[in-house]
Structure 1
Amino acid sequence: MDESELEQIRKARLEQLKAQGGGGGGSRNGGASGQDGERQRQQADEARQQMLNQILHPEAADRLGRIRLVKEQRAIDIENRLLTLAQTGQLRQKVTEAQLKDLLTAVADNQEQEKIVVSRRKGWDDDDDDLLDF
């Protein structure tokens, strides 16, 4: 990636962050703010998609689209990670499908480690005991 592409990515990400956080200013005229918010959100989505198109090979983008159909949150997590890598300059070339698979595996392994298992003990005053008449 050259400097101009990175600069475009940075600008688009800045617009996205402004849209998510309201940009600090915000309008106070009721109905118009809803339309402005929707327009900003749409612009942020378009900028995000443009950035992803710049950093993904077509095959990788296609795979990510298929993942989005099945698990949208996972696709969003992967997109966020890819955009972060691009913004920090850690991506030197477009991401291939094989690299995307590796990233998916790493994220899946990370999510498995984060699972929390809750085991509950039965209390001494369990209502099921009332059903047993001997």
Structure 2
Amino acid sequence: MDEAELQAIRQARLAELQRRQGPAGGAAGGRPGGTADSTARQASEEDARMEMIAQILTPAARERLSRIRIVKQQKAKSVEDLLIQMARTGQIRNRVDEDELISLLDQISKQESKEHETKIVYQTRRFGGDDSEDDFDI
């Protein structure tokens, strides 16, 4: 995506968010323009986030991440968060390609499966006071 396409997407998103607020959005909470400001701030934060992701990922990796976002929004957001954090701490030196993104997704999936792993523990108890079998007359 070039800069003109990104700018067009930003403007469309901002218009969509403002349209969702509607005419009652300005009077909400007794603060005229308060929701419009927060909406604009959210849109600009999202745009900055998308711009960082565009700088971090190659076009093929961005396409894969966008396909993941269609199916699992939360997973795509967590991957984006991780990529941004890694870029800020200097762990990413070059642009991340599709293969590296796949490996990162595998690591995240393994970590999530370990977190959601359940263990079932069976405890057997004997009924009665003693364990001897001489209570039964055969």
TM-score range, shorter chain: 0.5 to 0.7
The TM-score normalised by the length of structure 1 is 0.65
Deviation at 1:30, TM superposition (A): 1.9
Partner of 1:42: 43
Q: Answer with 1 or 2: which has the greater Rg.
A: 2
CA distance in 2, matches of 1:66, 1:52: 15
- In percent, how many aligned pairs have the same letter? 34
**RMSD over aligned Cα atoms:** 1.9
* Count of aligned pairs: 93
Which runs of at least 4 in structure 1 moved beyond 3 Å after TM superposition? 116-119
Indicate whether 1:105 and 2:106 are aligned: yes
Partner of 2:89: 88
CA distance in 1, matches of 2:30, 2:107: 46
Structure 1: which 5+ residue stretches go unaligned? Answer: 1-27, 120-134
Aligned pairs (5 A) from 1:6-85: 30-85=31-86
Higher relative contact order (CA 8 A, sep 6+): 1
The TM-score normalised by the length of structure 2 is 0.63
CA distance in 2, matches of 1:30, 1:89: 41
Deviation at 1:33, TM superposition (A): 1.4
Q: Secondary structure at the match of 1:31?
A: coil
Structure 2: which 5+ residue stretches go unaligned? Answer: 1-28, 121-138
